[in-house]
Chain A
Amino acid sequence: MKGTHLGEFQEVVLLVILSLDDNAYGVTIKHEIMEKVNRGISRGALHTALSRLEEKGFISSEQGDANEDRGGRRKRYYTVTNHGIKALHGAKNLRDELWSQIPRLKLYPDYGR
């Protein structure tokens, strides 16, 4: 099923974009990943992930207006497409299903003691 698989890092990026709502662009995404997920990545690595996601159609992007504090350089804002939300749900469902199939005892060794 080429093109629909969601990698772990890609999932994180999608979730972060959703959490940032209107303000999701390179710097904030990177900052958020650093803060919330506690993972330091380079802007280049993030770019690769973003372009991958865009190729798969999970996110869309648009150029913002020229911005004074960036010396006139425009930002690229990212939003998660419906397709992307669907993929997130798919990933979550897959996990939930797997979680539910595991006996509680194995997951919580202290349970019932």
Chain B
Amino acid sequence: MNKQPSKFFTKLFKRFCNDAFYEELQGDLEERFYLNLENTGANRAKAAYRKEVIKMIRPSVLKSMKTSKIFRLSLFKIHWTLSIRSLKRNKVFSLVTTLGFAAAISISLFLINLIYSGYSVDQQHESLDRIHRIATRAVDNGETKVFASTPFNLKERVVEEVPGFELITHINRTLSISFERNDYPINLNGIYVDENFFKVFNFSIISGNAFDIFKDVNSIIITQEYAKRLFKGQNPIGQMTNGGQVVRAVIESPKNKSHIQFEAIGNIGALDISLQNWDYKARNYLYGRISENVNRKVLDARLTSLSNSIKKEREQGQVNNDFFLQPITALIFKDGVFNEIGSSVGREGLIIFSSLTILLVAMACFNYTNLSLARALQRTKEVGIRKVAGSTPVQIISQFLIETFLFSSLGFLIGLGVYVYYSGQIANLIPFPFLEISDYQIILVFAGFAIITSLIAGIFPALFFSRISPLSLFNKQSSNGRLSLKGLRKLLVGSQVTVSMFCVILLSLVIDQNKSLRNAPTGIQSDQLLIVNSTPETASILIREFEKIPGVSSGTVVSSTPVVDFPSSLSVIKKGMPDSLSTRFIKADENFDNVFQPKLRLGRFFEPQMGEQAYRDIIVSHALLQKMEISENEALGTVLNGKTLDYRIVGVLQQTISANPLIKQNESFMLISSSPQMDYGRLVLKLEGKNLDNTLNQIQAVWEGVFTRGNFQASFFDTELESTYNIMITGIRIITFIGSCIILISILGQLGMALFNAQSRVKEIGIRKVMGAAISSITRLILKSTTNTIALAAIIATPAAYFAFVNVVAPEVRTPLTVTPWLLLKGVLVLTILILGVVISQTWRVATLNPTKSLRNE
């Protein structure tokens, strides 16, 4: 048994006891303890000791507290003035730290907003914590996946066999309606729901009665957003869609409100009966509100037993569905869910974005710390004098923290500005919720974030300065090598350069990829193509009329515009082949070649078709021939079987006609011969001649002759193509933004190191110059560590960026860029020149300093 008084309580006592009394009092307590030890035994003696220590907490014994002095207003004012003065004096330093903070903070703001928005959706629903979604875990292609959707027939079984739900609602995401506005169809996608939907989820109804749609299957609800867009100033209630559905109510838009996204809502009774089976799962969802006092685990167990009995009944089915509950709070951050009803960031995306942001903030904080320490040589004298004059360490710490706070709040303001400028664009770009920052709560969170950042970044330099002993100022020996953590700093600065090198290379590759995508062969001639709005009935009349205009060389109708539109696919099979092949297709008439002018390797273009034919003529891509193992010699006349129609090859394209260039697509392609009336998509005209304005006016005149109502709309093919690239351009802009923040911060880090290296070697350089060293050799000397870092970074980052590009970016695009050494080198060179430029600009000053000045005081 330990016969000592408790060490912890002794320490505690020492901590709070006034030093003048400690020795005597502790001695007394200990003497008493040993006395008690003999009289009453160890346990009682210890207990008595503890009790005595606790009872010592009284005003006459406690240390007098001085800390409250740091909050004195006058001192705070002085520190504030000092900080502003030092900010003005060191303009370069102030600028780089502020920008560093700004970059880090603006990125963090995006992250905070994303998380805040993600958690703030769906908050309006009553008893939110009891609303759950039934999700499916199923094995698909050997992989276990989580699906948000459930089979159509599950609802009945859940209602009958799983007690514990207060309400169950069934949602189907296949509603598609269109309104005719100015003779032009506007499509809305939405959901079919049952009556419980409005009981489980609380969306506010703007006008009309939501339950009216359950009285008649041919009625719908539209969102406020579309009501405004479609029926400006008119009453939307009672309006008809093209399919004859009547608008019964207007509901608020779910954007930023819910994870369930829709533009319209219909009655689930109107859903096609053929979908009501066990196999249809893709766009079908079940939500339920659990009864009060029912445990989610119990329900999960009931669902599992239901899934098992369904599996047994349907043993012939290959799909093994396991059903389970998901709470609906923060659904967009849930792990890898397929068939999601709205948008999903996913846990992976959240983690990637968060860790990038944390990395960035850490880099910025570290940089500030590094740069402040690099200035230590200048400021030791200031701090020393202040200490001699009687400042306590706490006061010095508070001064430096105020200075850091000043920098970070400036950075915060700039960061907020950047964020506000970009957030509009981002909000339009990303499909998941992204709130505007009108809410001052978020701004408070942002400001709190900036303050915390400043405290983290500022505490180390503040502690460092507070520990400077004024004596050391006059002690020449101790002034060198006092900055510890040198190795760690080198490592951190080095990794910064490596990360930014990686970003530069990857960015330049992505930009080059973008350029090469734009120049990639599309298989058609795209200049002077005009797309005109029309309807199936009038398309062929319009074309006949347009072709009379001298400036129009030809016109055609296609099911979807080549290159611009997203592809549609069907599968074909050749007799004697085991597998069918999925191929992209466009349905086109016989004028396709006159307008788009694709080149043929073999065969001929379509001829006008008369009456019903056994085969549809097709023109196929070379890749399709290869995949179907058809040799070029026997290609023409070969018949391929589709699900409902048969196709006969009449030609082979020199080059496949691409679909939207942003997506990875099937190289198998075929043009299917068709008539304008049957498969109307878009009307495309090929123009010729120079007087485009005149031609356009004539086209409009003809159009208005055919359509008495409505607006003439026409756009050039190149413009439409350009607008598809806009998505990519915004994406690139975001990546560039994050990338340039990282690059900026690492350049600042280099600047800090260079400043530190140069200033700590002023004397050495002075002596070298006196001994006859040239400026260039001195510069080289200082630059050595920088160039070493860059070289090392290039060696690590180049292959990393290459692999990242080949494995992550390249598989996503249609024509991946072939990476040449020059492309990689370009990024390395850009960053090297930037860093060296910044570093040389700082070292030059020191190198050109007159040695008589730097050595005068020695």
Q: Report which A residues bind B (CB closer than 8 A).
A: 25-27, 30, 42-45, 47-48, 51-52, 63, 67, 69-71, 73-76
Contacts and interface: CB of A to CB of B under 8 A. Distances in A.
* Best-buried of A43, A51, A74 by chain B (most CB within 10 Å): A43
Q: How large is the interface on B (under 10, 10 to 19, 20 to 34, 35 or more residues)?
A: 20 to 34
A44 B56 contact: yes
Question: 8 closest A-B pairs (Cβ-Cβ)?
Answer: A73-B27, A26-B28, A42-B55, A44-B56, A76-B24, A44-B55, A48-B60, A70-B27
A51 B62 CA distance: 13
Contacts of A42: 51-52, 55-56
Contacts of A69: 31
Interface in B47-67: 51-52, 55-58, 60-61
A30 B32 contact: yes
A70 B24 CA distance: 10
Given A27-B31, A43-B29, A43-B52, A75 B58 contact: no
A43 B25 contact: yes
Contact of A75 (B24, B29, B60): B24
B140 interface: no
B60 A73 contact: no
A74 B21 contact: no
Contact of A47 (B27, B30, B31, B60): B60
7 contacts: A25-B28, A30-B32, A43-B28, A44-B55, A69-B31, A73-B27, A76-B24
B728 interface: no
Given A42-B52, A44-B56, A44-B61, 18 more contacts: A26-B24, A42-B51, A42-B55, A43-B52, A43-B55, A44-B57, A45-B58, A47-B58, A47-B61, A63-B24, A69-B31, A70-B27, A70-B30, A70-B31, A73-B23, A74-B23, A74-B24, A75-B28
A30 B29 CA distance: 11
Contacts of A47: 21, 25, 56, 58, 60-61
B230 interface: no
A73 B58 contact: no
Contacts of A44: 52, 55-58, 61
A52 B58 CA distance: 13
A72 to B, nearest CB: 9
A32 to B, nearest CB: 13
Contacts of A67: 27
A25 B28 CA distance: 8
A27 B28 contact: yes
Nearest to B28: A26
A41 to B, nearest CB: 9
A73 B24 contact: yes
Contacts of A70: 27, 30-31
A63 B55 CA distance: 23
Contacts of A25: 28
A30 B27 CA distance: 14
Nearest to A46: B28
Nearest to B58: A44
A43 B56 contact: yes
Contacts of A63: 24
A95 to B, nearest CB: 28
A27 B51 contact: no
B385 interface: no
Nearest to B59: A48
B26 interface: yes
Contacts of B727: none
A28 to B, nearest CB: 9
A14 B31 CA distance: 22
A83 B583 CA distance: 113
Nearest to B23: A73
B670 to A, nearest CB: 96
A67 B56 CA distance: 23
B845 to A, nearest CB: 59
A89 to B, nearest CB: 27
Given A47-B61, A51-B60, A71 B55 contact: no
Interface string B23-46: 111111111100100000000000
Nearest to B31: A27
A75 B58 CA distance: 21
Contact of B27 (A45, A52, A74): A74
A51 B58 CA distance: 12
A65 to B, nearest CB: 12
A52 to B, nearest CB: 8
Contacts of A74: 23-24, 27
B54 to A, nearest CB: 9
Contacts of A45: 55, 58
A49 to B, nearest CB: 9
A70 B27 CA distance: 6
* Best-buried of B21, B23, B26, B57 by chain A (most CB within 10 Å): B23
A42 B51 CA distance: 9
A42 B21 CA distance: 15
Contacts of A43: 25, 28-29, 32, 52, 55-56
A75 B31 CA distance: 10
Interface string B235-268: 0000000000000000000000000000000000
A48 B56 CA distance: 9
B27 A75 contact: yes
Interface in B548-576: none
A48 B31 CA distance: 19
* Best-buried of B27, B30, B57, B60 by chain A (most CB within 10 Å): B27
Contacts of B60: 47-48, 51-52
A48 B21 CA distance: 11
Contacts of B21: 47
A47 B24 CA distance: 10
Nearest to A25: B28
B765 to A, nearest CB: 55
Contacts of B29: 43
A47 B26 CA distance: 12
A45 B57 CA distance: 10
B526 to A, nearest CB: 92
Contact of B26 (A30, A48, A52, A73): A73
Contacts of B26: 73
A69 B56 CA distance: 23
B32 A71 contact: no
A27 B60 CA distance: 18
A30 B55 CA distance: 14
A26 B25 contact: yes
A74 B25 CA distance: 10
B22 to A, nearest CB: 9
A69 to B, nearest CB: 8
B7 to A, nearest CB: 13
Contacts of B61: 44, 47-48
Nearest to A52: B60
A46 to B, nearest CB: 9
A73 B25 CA distance: 9
B33 to A, nearest CB: 10
Given A27-B35, A43-B25, A71 B30 contact: yes
Nearest to A70: B27
